[in-house]
Amino acid sequence: MDRNMDNGGDWWTYIRWASEHHLTVGFPDKDFHSDEWKAHGKRLEWVREHEVGRNEYRDAECVFEDINRLALSADKFFKRSVSNGHG
């Protein structure tokens, strides 16, 4: 799993934002923000319970990876914007 936990809260903020674009309801702010596999299992269960129609036949891990990629891209974009003096 390609997760960047070095960003701590930043990663989770972007994951929550990105999940709203891939699920009917984004991840809640509690019980999910951890790098432990138990928390990841909860995230995958949330994905299964709140999938949108286009993800109906996709594996929850694949949907989560899409969420993660979007989150990491947003994080990178905003950090680059700030470092270039645009933020």
pLDDT, tens digit, for every residue of 11-63?
A: 888 999 999 999 999 998 776 777 677 888 999 999 999 999 998 899 999 99
Whether residue 3 has pLDDT greater than 50? no
pTM: 0.78
| Residues 12 and 33: beta-carbon distance below 8 Å | yes
Stronger pLDDT, 81 or 50, i.e. the higher one: 50
Query: Which range of residues forms the domain containing residue 67?
Result: 5-83
Contact 11, 5 (CB under 8 A): yes
- Is 71 a residue whose pLDDT tops 90? yes
Number of domains observed in the structure of the chain: 1
